[in-house]
Amino acid sequence: MTRTPYDPESEGAQMAFKGRMSYGDYLQLDKILTAQTPLSQAHDEMLFIVQHQASEIWMRLVIHELTSVCEHIARDDLAPSFKKLARVSRILDQLNSAWDVLRTMTPSEYTTFREALGMSSGFQSFQYRAIEFLAGNKNAAMMRAHEHKPDIHSWLAAFLHAPSIYDQSIRLLARKGLAIDKSLVDRDWSLPYQPNDSVREAWLVVYRDPEAHWPLYELAEKLVDFEDYFRRWRFNHVTTVERIIGFKSGTGGTSGVNYLRKMLEVVLFPELWSVRTNL
């Protein structure tokens, strides 16, 4: 018995797109799928490019969401910030899974195209830097890697000089009547945040009576979720790099694994972690 091939047009599917917007048009796939241009003949360079480009696209969404979270917290509009922080945590989970794919590349395979990278390095990712600034890991020295691109440098400077999501959360605590050191409510946002006893005491008040402070309690836990996934992302990055290049210097001139390990020591929301010991 001969089966007639299924024709989706018979059920109303649109098949003619001359003069109409198609799926590929909407997503601008002609731009995205022609951006993978290996500089060597090595088979695994395509994996390396796709992995990093896909990560940058996800980071684009993280920046979009975290920027919005800062705006919501500043307006005391917490419910949407919970949804968006939860989404960011899921995105970071996706980014973590991507390291598993890259780890299928062996050291021998990486050496076949590493020279083609020149001085380019993930260390120079301006989107990753924006995420760090939004999360509160401020370091003006990191801006120097972007001075050759004035538009990007200016874009990053706006994040450097704006309150992070944790700064906005601390200001919220103060607006809700909790005793926050006044110096934290309006400070030089470009400087890294330093742990403060008044913030720890404020979070203690929230955690000791969650029902009386439920929105703040939920915000605190969403922030902890975010940092938890962010730490895993950093850790998986270190493990992947060590697995592939050992302790060689990075292509961008950093100390490679040793540099990345220093990043593991960064705590974004210190009082939200220390408060657990005090409860």
Contacts 24+ apart (CB under 8 A), 104-110: 104/47, 105/44, 105/47, 105/48, 105/244, 106/244, 107/243, 107/244, 107/245, 107/246, 109/42, 109/43, 109/44, 110/44, 110/48, 110/244, 110/245
Ligand-binding annotation for 94, yes or no, is no
CA distances from 187 to 1, 9, 63, 154, 163 (A): 78, 62, 23, 21, 9
Ligand-binding annotation for 230, yes or no, is no
Backbone angles phi, psi at 267, to 5 degrees: -115, 120
Ligand-binding annotation for 110, yes or no, is yes
Q: Tokens 């018995």 belong to which residue? A: 1
Ligand-binding annotation for 245, yes or no, is no
Ligand-binding annotation for 50, yes or no, is yes
CA distance 219 to 85: 9
Ligand-binding annotation for 114, yes or no, is yes
Ligand-binding annotation for 237, yes or no, is yes
Ligand-binding annotation for 251, yes or no, is yes
User: Which residues sit in the known binding site for heme?
Assistant: 237
User: Which residues sit in the known binding site?
Assistant: 48-52, 110, 114, 237, 251
User: Which residues sit in the known binding site for substrate?
Assistant: 48-52, 110, 114, 251
